[in-house]
Structure 1
Amino acid sequence: MSSSLHTESTAPAALSLSSTSPATARAEPGYQIIRRNGGVTPFDASKIGIALTKAFLGVEGSTAAASRRVHEVVESLTQEIVLGLTRRAEAGRTFHIEEVQDQVELALMRGGHHKVARAYVLYREQRAAERAKAAPATAIIAPEFHVTLVNGSRIALDIDRLRNLISEACEGLADVSAEAILTETQRNLYDGITEAELALAPVLAARTLVEREPDYAFASARLLLDGLRREALSAAHGGRQQATQAEMKDRYAAYFPAYVAKGIEAELLDPELARFDLKRLAAALKPDRDLNFQYLGLQTLYDRYFLHIAGTRFELPQAFFMRVAMGLALREIGREARAIEFYDLLSSFDFMASTPTLFNAGTTRPQLSSCFLTTIPDDLEAIFKSVKDNALLAKYSGGLGNDWTPVRGLGARIKGTNGESQGVVPFLKVANDTAIAVNQGGKRKGAVCAYLETWHIDIEEFLDLRKNTGDDRRRTHDMNTANWVPDLFMERVSEDGAWTLFSPDEVPDLHDLYGLAFKAAYETYEAKAAQGKIKVFKQVRAVDLWRRMLTMLFETGHPWITFKDPCNIRSPQGHVGVVHSSNLCTEITLNTSRDEVAVCNLGSVNLARHVTPQGLDHDKLARTVRTALRMLDNVIDINFYTIPEARLSNLRHRPVGLGLMGYQDALHTLRLPIASEDAVTFADESMEAISFHAIAASCELAAERGRCPSFEGSLWSKGILPIDSLERLSEARGRLDLDRSSVLDWSALRERVMHVGMRNSNVMAIAPTATISNICGVSQSIEPIFRNLYVKANMSGDFTVVNPALVHDLKARDLWDEVMISDLKYFDGSLASIDRVPDDLKMLYATAFEIEPSWLIEAAARRQKWIDQAQSLNLYIANPNGRKLDSMYRLAWERGLKTTYYLRATAATHVEKSTLKGTDGKLNAVQVTATSVSSGTGAEGKACLIDDPTCEACQ
């Protein structure tokens, strides 16, 4: 079988697409191919069709029927490959022949042509080995190549600098070969190469090797840094500047003050930053920490976080972390020392602030908060004010949760016009379109989640909002939705009882009631409805409504299931209000009202950095949490508030949400399978430790700075900590089946909280962390591992993700080779079907869809007992059916969980099977659309990807 592309050989006319398929015969003019000898020729797509045809016929034979089928398949694949190459490249882009072949391999795997792809891969490997044997590449072969600068002038290619740059990038990385990167880089060189292409060439070269050795992700990042350094140094100092990593040890000190001055001059940085002792702060920078990035993390920072002027970045990584630290230390006494303390925590990846804080700290508009929760009142003026508030809050990167329950339902009387209401849905449509219109300065789309209680008369229409069928005027394709479910409804489901739907204008107090008080009022209204004293109502079978809720969740990914009663019964702030909804990601549970918009300020401890094979490092965790809580508390006072209701609420209650990420990495370090009792116990013990230290830290801040104004009367003031509030939920329900054991000395802390107070009304919430975990190079939040090898697609491009812990273990057992890589691709990153992998490794590295979701729920329940807010809990289910979904969500309720988040099902899963050699890796890479996992199984396709930074969920 021949797999040559863009060679001098030709195929029989019958096998060529050049004369029969104009759409695929040739790419747009201007694209070029770099051949292996360094020559450059025009890009001719017909040769892709020739190679594909030969590959198919070599595997499937050359009968007439096979030839006809092959012709159709090849035409489609060729179009896909050409599009894959050209859609992410400006006119005139030059591709290496290997890059084209990578796209061919990717298209075959995506299309399910596994036998052909396998034969194609083996043939490529054979040919590569033959070329290497014939002419081993021990050093780059460089003719008199020249580099074209931005101004059009040409200079000689500095081969020695390129060689040294690659060698430097590989220092300290085991099993990473500078020679291999150098050889691969050669393929992307040609005479007249642009400066940008030259910077990209070694990055691409290193990225091609990531799937074989995960540490090439670090080498790729270090090579990427070279282009970033040149860009940022030139922007900060003027002229053409460049530096190696070794040179940056001295140059960072001079660069940092110039960077601050440049940012202030451009009106991007707060002028107050110039009043810091910049020389002291510059001396505290740690350039070596630039080496801790993996490629995905650094590319993400470049694309979305680093400050720029007209697209030119002038912010280097350590300056970025110091800028954020300075922004959070603005009002500290001894602020240089605090800024250095904050910088050390961020730049070490021990803790990471949320995306809005990273975006805006130290800037002229420091909107640092993550989440805003609002209640929509039931009058026209207030409804449209709320929509306007959504726009203002979203403008500066806030994620929104709207409680729509007070708005009267379809058919309810409008007193002012003596007409009938069209219900809540038309207003939701307006809110949906507003979220799309306000896209946070192009950094990510505005994002909002609408909540509705299960007794609302419009609940059935609400369930259909994300469907692609029906009246599009009553659909919200871009808005997240969530059910706000009272315990009484779950009880009616359990006993197969009736459930009555009401319009809130006739039952106004239900919105603010929960627990036994809600039950009493609800039953009274049911009696009135039976007596004809209520005009708008409908009675349904509770089980039928529950099944429809689960069906819509399965088919469209929405609405999510969240539970009203545990959120309120266990809320520390029940004395001053009611929790009417959660936020965009279901981890925030704060009071809202007409006068108060709840605000939460988030950050996450990197649990992987606080665990050794021997267990949790409590001393380090205590230090991290103490500093992190101080940073989060500072956000409240420094924050730029876009509406007064948010400022009022935040200063009155001062809530923060300290969460965690890297949970799966921690389990790998401890050698604990996620589907095990030991992992559930670790979830319990680790969250207990975070809870203990977070409460203690807020108590320390109260002693130093004063209690939050709403402390008196709170559960805290009564000595009822989150672990104690479980008893309140148990009493309300009659029972609660949950382990309540503890390890730490809570008695002493409880007494101190009662007497000293709490600086913050709430201190814990586990957010999704999809983007900030990428920055730190660890697993998201509390998520199980998605796949052991896959391609992650986000706004920065496509990235190969390989589980480094698995690779380490397979190497130790002499199992890591090309066949294993091929098998992992074929089996979607799962070990389960690979016979030669031992069972203990299959258990340890089981992926999300290979474990029973009950394990995730049990671990979440053990965490929830320590958390004063909630957690973003995604649930994964293989081969879902109604019975499984029912038992899964009933278990979540029975264990006292406050909320759940996305349902992810295998029926909608698509994992890219790729070498990733074909992604461009540009610093300003264009987003490539590729679905990793959808939350539903229908054709809706609107559910959040497993990593979608256009969504606020990916903080």
Structure 2
Amino acid sequence: MSTQMQDAPTAEPTSAYSRYSIIKRQNDRVPFDPDKIRIAVSKAFIATEGEHGLSSNRVREQIQRIVDDVVMVIERRLPSGGAVHIEDIQDQVELSLMRLGEHTVARAYVLYREKHAQSRDHAGGRLDANAGTPLLVTRNGQQQPLDLSWFRGLIREACSGLADVDPEGIEREALKNLYQGVDYKDIVPAAIMTARAYVEKEPNYSQVCARLLLEQLRAEALGFLGIAEQASARDMETLYAKALPAYIAKGIELELLAPDLAEFDLEKLGAALIPERDFQFQFLGLQTLYDRYFIHSGKIRFELPQIFYMRVAMGLAIKEDDRNARAIEFYEVLSRLDYMTSTPTLFNAGTRRPQLSSCYLTTVPDDLEGIYSAIKDNALLSKWAGGLGNDWTPVRALGAHIKGTNGESQGVVPFLKVVNDTAVAVNQGGKRKGAVCAYLETWHLDIEEFLELRKNTGDDRRRAHDMNTAHWIPDLFMERVFEDKDWTLFSPSDVPDLHDLTGLAFKTRYEEYERQTASGELKLFKRLPAKVMWRKMLSMLFETGHPWITFKDACNLRSPQQHVGVVHSSNLCTEITLNTSPDEIAVCNLGSVNLVQHINADGSMDTEKLRRTVRTAVRMLDNVIDINYYAVPQAQRSNSRHRPVGLGLMGFQDALYKAGISYSSDAAVDFADQTMEQISYFALEASSDLAAERGQYETYKGSLWDQGILPIDSIQLLGAARGNDYLKQSTSQTLNWAPLREKIKQQGMRNSNVMAIAPTATIANIIGVSASIEPTYQNLYVKSNLSGEFTVINPWLVNALKAEGLWDDVMVNDLKYYNGSVQKIDRIPAELKARFATSFEMSPRWLVEAGSRRQKWLDQAQSLNLYIAEADGKKLDVTYKMAWLLGLKTTYYLRAMGATSAEKSTVAQGELNAVQTTQQAPQVTASVAAPVPSACSIDDPDCEACQ
């Protein structure tokens, strides 16, 4: 070993990995030793950079990162230990090299592997699955030959009906991953690991993996329920009906399910289960359900996919008059993947403690007892899987007088530190970390320190690294930014009424307080140019991702409930806009229509199917309000009075693909407008019809609904307060809304609020569609979550390339090299490059304009992420001003990519992801995206509180 290699950083001692072993190519096992990875990678670097290259700190750091990456993957996949095939280790090394941009070294490593593979073939070292002694497996402590006919049949069943998959290849390669005496329970995982390696070449292998996983699930669940030790997909045609009553009985016995479920007609419901719908899953979706959603006892999951959907349906139908018929209706929309409820509902429907709501919004009062009561409420709500939005604006600022002690306040920030630590300490049912977002209005005297809460430098006692923050910006501030005027900061203890004022009333009172600072009546304040504050807000947003930008007046002036209160904040994911007060904690119940399921083959909308789905979905959401477990009384009081729900959508990008539309186009903006208009129409119609059946919500009288003002009409209220110069939102419509207005006039509304577009992070992965309204992040990448690592490839791109005769191994390698971007692959037609441009390859203008068109139909808001490549102050300034001018209520994460990441593949025909303010279509340009941003998505399993 060279001197340089001896000096290289060392991993943990090999003994730390004694629970792991490596399966070599002749099926023998050896202990896992991370240093062997280091040696192999070092040789690859030597082959490209020479022996002296290992003395470079950069190279040494890269080698260590690769070793760490591989070890992390193994530990995530096999937390309790186990065996990994040598080729899987080498695949991970190759993947890590590519991720780190070491493409030349990766090629050397690939050549090294190929050379050794040829040597083994020449020497007869490659295993022939049909030759030699039979493979022995251990089952119930006894060794017996592997039943190859069963193994072959298992793989054939998993591949049945799927194009371009090779069952013989899976069988051959899977057998290489087995060794003499392997435990029987490791047979199916070996086949899964083999099939998942092919996903990058053919997306259908993801379904193969899911179907193989089903074999494992069936054996685990049916064995636990005493129905069968093993079952094929065909067996489930009869076994599902038997499994449902056994599952209900066992769940009630273990005190995991509500006893009321036994009162359903389980024979009728069991007959309604459709076993073949198990085959709809992608691997990521089914594995996520298995790891985190299925009911389990100890570590044994005894809930199968169709029973899971039926359990949720039964839990939501439990108070219906005809509960069996409604349960089947709800099961149908869930199991067909036409609609999906939010994560808390999936977790808890039908259980003994049905906390089904997604979001809670609170206002924190300005007294010590109230502050700590609010923190206690956070803990109780978080315990049962709720995402939190806290309005902290009423709390007095740093330096404000405290009458009771005759002292000075320490301001908001020290309390936010406690909120941060509470969210970490009280996780959501043991399933994910607590998640909270603090909101502060832009006139609060602590706003500048609030800006820096997420910084990694400074006094850590005044930092909150684990919580989210957001601005609550009045229109007056934005006007002052545009007009280059000053802005004044106050302590709310001096100006308490500003918290509840909006629009012109806020402007009048704010200006009066400014005059009081000039006269000396108000002494605690700070004045600075509004543009200076705006620049600080944007620079901190770019640096830390926080605070998010949300707009107070758009949320309030368009709120249907402004007659009974004020919207003081949004929620954790910025899509909920409900009133809060010391007596009421706003609650919202979420679910999302799978838009792509309602698009016909010709790209048109199946409006009748959409209407049916939306009507059923709104009914399910309304049921949540009466079934829900409320951890605090203020939440129950608010939800019972106003009955808000939030119906959203997901699969928007997939719907565009199916319709043949590029996200970066006027056609996509129109598509967003028209699809949201139809969802809005059907959702409002459904709520009104529920009002006729069940009664209006308590505070309906005096609401905008009661005044005949629908969401599209409320834009005029915002425009009247702002003036036309500061609102450029479209008010066009294609449907005849007059009959619906008349229906609402006659029947009223069941729900104060009906629509909100949530991130749908996890449930979109379960269904296997693009999240929410998000553009494609990359066309080929690896997604890491608590369930392991999953290759994700865009099946729409693969099918389009197949149709052009362009899909081959070279194309796969090109996509890998360009990190999922198609822009620099010359043989791909320009039309496909435009259609399959990724999130950082489009102007954020298109995201904002599509968001504006959706926003006009929504009575709440939407979780709108903004992607900006080569982000700088000018781009941020234009983008966020555009968001305000176009009438958006809120924005969510800024996902920015620095110039160093983008530089690698920027091409000559235009600037990467340029911000545009004109109506011309953006040029399609290329980028290699940075690592997946840590945002509210399954890529960050700690941040999925909404969905």
Same fold, judged at TM 0.5 (above): yes
* Contact kept in structure 2, 1:16 and 1:49, CA below 8 Å: no
Secondary structure of 1:615 counterpart: coil
What is aligned with 1:940? none
What is aligned with 1:285? 273
CA distance in 1, matches of 2:79, 2:703: 59
Encode CA deviations 1:607-652: one digit per residue, 9 max, x unaligned.
Answer: 0100122311101000000000000000000011111111111011
What is aligned with 1:938? none
What is aligned with 2:47? 58
What displacement does 1:944 show? Answer: 5.2
Does residue 300 (structure 1) correspond to residue 299 (structure 2)? The answer is: no
What is aligned with 1:452? 440
What displacement does 1:378 show? Answer: 0.8
CA distance in 2, matches of 1:693, 1:168: 41
| Worse-superposed segment, 222-231 or 88-97 | 88-97
Of residues 932, 942, 945, the one that matches 1:950 is 942
- Residues 811-826 of structure 1: matches in 2 within 5 Å? 811-826=802-817
Encode CA deviations 1:109-157: one digit per residue, 9 max, x unaligned.
Answer: 23321012123335545766887898998965573333234x5343432
CA distance in 2, matches of 1:448, 1:826: 38
What displacement does 1:838 show? Answer: 1.1
Cα distance, 1:745–1:130 mapped onto 2, change above 3 Å: farther
What displacement does 1:85 show? Answer: 5.5
Cα distance, 1:18–1:474 mapped onto 2, change above 3 Å: closer
| Alignment-mate amino acid for residue 135 of structure 2 | F
| Alignment-mate amino acid for residue 667 of structure 1 | L
- Residues 644-659 of structure 1: matches in 2 within 5 Å? 644-659=633-648
CA distance in 2, matches of 1:909, 1:201: 40
* Contact kept in structure 2, 1:374 and 1:402, CA below 8 Å: yes
Does residue 693 (structure 1) correspond to residue 692 (structure 2)? The answer is: no
* Contact kept in structure 2, 1:377 and 1:406, CA below 8 Å: yes
What is aligned with 2:150? 161
What displacement does 1:91 show? Answer: 6.6
Of residues 206, 222, 226, the one that matches 1:233 is 222
CA distance in 1, matches of 2:134, 2:735: 69
What displacement does 1:533 show? Answer: 0.6
What is aligned with 1:705? 694
What is aligned with 1:923? none
Cα distance, 1:253–1:325 mapped onto 2, change above 3 Å: same
Does residue 481 (structure 1) correspond to residue 444 (structure 2)? The answer is: no
- Residues 25-40 of structure 1: matches in 2 within 5 Å? 26=14, 28-40=17-29
Cα distance, 1:909–1:342 mapped onto 2, change above 3 Å: farther
Cα distance, 1:85–1:545 mapped onto 2, change above 3 Å: closer
Of residues 631, 650, 654, the one that matches 1:642 is 631
What displacement does 1:535 show? Answer: 2.7
Cα distance, 1:505–1:883 mapped onto 2, change above 3 Å: same
CA distance in 2, matches of 1:380, 1:86: 48
Does residue 933 (structure 1) correspond to residue 927 (structure 2)? The answer is: no
Secondary structure of 1:442 counterpart: coil
Cα distance, 1:554–1:945 mapped onto 2, change above 3 Å: farther
Cα distance, 1:607–1:15 mapped onto 2, change above 3 Å: farther
CA distance in 2, matches of 1:721, 1:556: 38
Secondary structure of 2:400 counterpart: strand
Encode CA deviations 1:483-517: one digit per residue, 9 max, x unaligned.
Answer: 00000000001111011111111111100000000
Does residue 852 (structure 1) correspond to residue 843 (structure 2)? The answer is: yes
What displacement does 1:34 show? Answer: 1.8
Of residues 781, 785, 791, the one that matches 1:790 is 781
* Contact kept in structure 1, 2:22 and 2:29, CA below 8 Å: yes
What displacement does 1:226 show? Answer: 1.1
| Worse-superposed segment, 667-676 or 137-146 | 137-146
Gaps of 5+ in 1: 1-12, 914-929, 936-942
* Contact kept in structure 1, 2:363 and 2:585, CA below 8 Å: yes
- Residues 549-628 of structure 1: matches in 2 within 5 Å? 549-612=537-600, 613-628=602-617
- Residues 283-362 of structure 1: matches in 2 within 5 Å? 283-362=271-350
Does residue 434 (structure 1) correspond to residue 422 (structure 2)? The answer is: yes
Gaps of 5+ in 2: 905-928
Cα distance, 1:98–1:399 mapped onto 2, change above 3 Å: same
What is aligned with 1:905? 896
Cα distance, 1:555–1:536 mapped onto 2, change above 3 Å: same
Of residues 346, 349, 357, the one that matches 1:369 is 357
* Contact kept in structure 1, 2:778 and 2:839, CA below 8 Å: yes
What is aligned with 1:916? none
| Worse-superposed segment, 85-94 or 699-708 | 85-94
Cα distance, 1:147–1:588 mapped onto 2, change above 3 Å: same
What displacement does 1:70 show? Answer: 10
* Contact kept in structure 1, 2:11 and 2:34, CA below 8 Å: no
* Contact kept in structure 1, 2:444 and 2:489, CA below 8 Å: yes
| Worse-superposed segment, 424-433 or 280-289 | 424-433
Secondary structure of 2:489 counterpart: strand
* Contact kept in structure 2, 1:701 and 1:759, CA below 8 Å: yes
Secondary structure of 2:587 counterpart: strand
Cα distance, 1:497–1:100 mapped onto 2, change above 3 Å: same
What is aligned with 1:631? 620
What is aligned with 1:221? 210
What displacement does 1:396 show? Answer: 0.7
| Alignment-mate amino acid for residue 940 of structure 2 | D
What displacement does 1:41 show? Answer: 3.1
Of residues 806, 814, 829, the one that matches 1:838 is 829
What is aligned with 1:406? 394
What displacement does 1:716 show? Answer: 0.4
Q: CA RMSD in A?
A: 2.4
CA distance in 2, matches of 1:217, 1:111: 25
What displacement does 1:825 show? Answer: 1.5
Cα distance, 1:954–1:144 mapped onto 2, change above 3 Å: farther
Encode CA deviations 1:8-66: one digit per residue, 9 max, x unaligned.
Answer: xxxxx449958987648956335332222223334454543443344333334x46567
Cα distance, 1:24–1:602 mapped onto 2, change above 3 Å: closer
* Contact kept in structure 1, 2:21 and 2:82, CA below 8 Å: yes
CA distance in 2, matches of 1:306, 1:65: 50
CA distance in 2, matches of 1:645, 1:140: 68
* Contact kept in structure 2, 1:684 and 1:859, CA below 8 Å: yes
* Contact kept in structure 1, 2:560 and 2:704, CA below 8 Å: yes
Cα distance, 1:295–1:15 mapped onto 2, change above 3 Å: farther
| Alignment-mate amino acid for residue 678 of structure 1 | A
What displacement does 1:909 show? Answer: 10
| Worse-superposed segment, 810-819 or 214-223 | 810-819
Secondary structure of 1:841 counterpart: helix
Of residues 796, 809, 813, the one that matches 2:800 is 809
- Residues 720-739 of structure 1: matches in 2 within 5 Å? 720-735=709-724, 736-739=727-730
CA distance in 1, matches of 2:641, 2:46: 72
CA distance in 1, matches of 2:734, 2:350: 40
| Alignment-mate amino acid for residue 793 of structure 1 | S
- Residues 93-112 of structure 1: matches in 2 within 5 Å? 93-112=82-101
Encode CA deviations 1:219-262: one digit per residue, 9 max, x unaligned.
Answer: 00010111111111111227x71111111111111111110001
CA distance in 2, matches of 1:311, 1:851: 45
TM-score by length of 1: 0.92
| Alignment-mate amino acid for residue 934 of structure 1 | P
> Identity of counterpart residues, as a percentage?
62
Cα distance, 1:68–1:578 mapped onto 2, change above 3 Å: closer
Higher RCO structure (Cα 8 Å, ≥6 apart): 1
CA distance in 2, matches of 1:833, 1:768: 30
What is aligned with 1:466? 454
Cα distance, 1:944–1:285 mapped onto 2, change above 3 Å: closer
What displacement does 1:946 show? Answer: 6.8
Cα distance, 1:773–1:721 mapped onto 2, change above 3 Å: same
* Contact kept in structure 2, 1:449 and 1:479, CA below 8 Å: yes
* Contact kept in structure 2, 1:625 and 1:690, CA below 8 Å: yes
Encode CA deviations 1:449-480: one digit per residue, 9 max, x unaligned.
Answer: 00000001111111011111111111111110
| Worse-superposed segment, 39-48 or 244-253 | 39-48
Alignment length, in residue pairs? 916
Secondary structure of 1:234 counterpart: helix
